[in-house]
């Protein structure tokens, strides 16, 4: 073997090792950032007996699961109306109203774990016609990202 062939083999092996290290570093970076998924656990109704006049609410339970290695917190939860023709994972196709249903106190979602948050949505916020639209819950996270639930069908809402 000539000296040039040995140099090519050594440089090729070095390039292979460098590429492997780059791939492993990138995958570690992807795994370390927050990766939050949200789903709607259940919806039921309740009446606030302590308010005058009595108000009826939808009690919605959202389950947040963080698959990443970095904890994150939920800054705001909104109820968003999406058009009928929007694809299932298009988070920014907003047609109409945008209702903030939880704001202020941040809920922490620990790394590699999950948490459930209950939200009270007044029934007068969603008249019968709005419940017929496709609605989704959208959560704004502390890192600026948004996560959304699947589209809610009219059959998902309990009767009043």
Instruction: List, for residues 12-38, the tens digit of each pLDDT value.
Output: 999 999 999 999 988 887 777 888 999
Same domain, 8 and 47: no
Same domain, 92 and 152: yes
**What is the rounded CA–CA span in Å between residue 107 and residue 120?**
15
Give the CATH number of the domain where residue 112 resides.
2.60.40.10
**What is the rounded CA–CA span in Å between residue 68 and residue 53?**
45
CB atoms within 10 A of CB 87: 7
Same domain, 90 and 61: yes
pLDDT in tens, 46-96: 888 887 788 888 899 999 999 888 899 999 998 887 766 666 555 555 555
Tokens of 69: 């290695």
Containing 115, the helix (H) or strand (E) segment is strand 113-122
Full domain range(s) for residue 14:
1-32
């Amino acid at each position: 073997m000539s000296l040039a062939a040995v140099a090519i083999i050594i440089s090729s092996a070095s390039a292979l090792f460098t590429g492997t290290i780059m791939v492993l570093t990138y995958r570690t970076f992807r795994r370390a950032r927050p990766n939050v998924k949200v789903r709607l656990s259940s919806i039921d109704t309740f009446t606030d007996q302590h308010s005058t006049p009595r108000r009826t609410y939808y009690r919605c339970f959202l389950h947040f699961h963080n698959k990443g290695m970095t904890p994150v917190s939920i800054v705001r939860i909104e109820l968003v109306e999406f058009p009928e023709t929007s694809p299932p994972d298009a988070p920014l196709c907003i047609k109409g109203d945008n209702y903030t249903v939880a704001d202020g106190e941040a809920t922490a979602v620990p790394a590699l774990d999950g948490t459930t948050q209950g939200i009270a949505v007044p029934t007068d916020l969603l008249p019968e016609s709005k419940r017929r639209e496709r609605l989704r819950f959208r959560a704004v996270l502390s890192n600026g990202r948004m996560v959304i639930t699947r589209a809610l069908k009219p059959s998902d809402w309990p009767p009043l």
